Structure 1
């Protein structure tokens, strides 16, 4: 699971932004399981539950149908800043630093 994309999507509406050359990736959670078959089954069930929970969160924060999110998360999905706006992860592309954050260099 791409934690950065979830944090970005969950930001305050209207304040979620990326830089023009940003690349954002979303995908389903992954993990490695080892041990006895019963332990592997437990870990697999946990990952499936995590995937469903994360998909619901992305659907909530992007205003997309759950089926759209599930399809997008099936494999790695890379987006540029424009794609992230279309997907609902961000609201704006920052072309330059806001004046109040500019650093004055002598």
Structure 2
């Protein structure tokens, strides 16, 4: 029998009694966001609206975006990337599992110095693809031109975020380019590797710290032997 979305207790500082709320709503309130499935228009819209809302609610609080994504359409991915550049709060991007295709673009869009990989993460870059293959020759030519423009835009983003030459990025996109966390750090797509010692984070210990989850996470990143 499916369990559904777990509920956790939540107590507002002005209220005497705690209430039960959905786990994800609690995490969103703590500014912890998740892209943990293939990207599509609906997920893109949800992430963008949540980032904008949290930014308007408090522009001084950092946001944390956890990524485990095998990719998806280019347009929703670029929309998320642009949103992260636009909003006032600094956005941590944290890859665990895999960040492939547009997932790697979103990973790169985090605030410089706050793009994080977990030790076993895998990152993959490749060129954009089209699912449109049928039609008259003029449409095929136009489609190819559109793909070339999108590829140039993606190359420009990767080059800006990694400080690599565009010709290097262009060649790397010719095939599926898989990298480990260490290789991604060397490539310049992330800034830190967290949890190299694989110790239990403080918020999973029985006698954990008290306070906002985002602050505990922030302190854990700062004290966990991250590598720059």
| Segment drifting more, 31-40 vs 12-21 | 31-40
Is there any run of 5+ residues in structure 2 with no aligned partner, and where?
A: 1-73, 75-100, 208-228
**Alignment partner of 1:79 is 2:168:** no
| Structure 1 Cα separation of the partners of residues 201 and 151 of structure 2 | 36
Alignment match, 1:65: 165
**Alignment partner of 1:30 is 2:129:** yes
Structure with more of its chain in helix, by fraction: 1
Higher relative contact order (CA 8 A, sep 6+): 1
Tell me the TM-score normalised to structure 2 length.
0.43
**Alignment partner of 1:17 is 2:116:** yes
Q: Look up the SS of the partner of 2:124 in the other structure.
A: strand
| Structure 1 Cα separation of the partners of residues 204 and 134 of structure 2 | 51
Deviation at 1:105, TM superposition (A): 5.0
CA deviations over 1:32-90 (Å, ceiling 9, x no partner): 32111111111111001100111011000101011111111111100000000011110
Residues 98/56 of structure 1: CA separation in 2 closer, same or farther (3 Å cut): farther
Deviation at 1:103, TM superposition (A): 4.0
Which of 1 and 2 has greater Rg? 2
Deviation at 1:98, TM superposition (A): 5.7
Runs of 4+ aligned residues of structure 1 deviating over 2 Å after TM superposition are 96-99, 103-106
| Structure 1 Cα separation of the partners of residues 191 and 185 of structure 2 | 6
Question: C-alpha root-mean-square deviation of aligned residues, in Å?
Answer: 1.8
**Alignment partner of 1:40 is 2:140:** yes
| Structure 2 Cα separation of the partners of residues 85 and 66 of structure 1 | 18
| Structure 2 Cα separation of the partners of residues 69 and 80 of structure 1 | 17
**Alignment partner of 1:90 is 2:185:** no
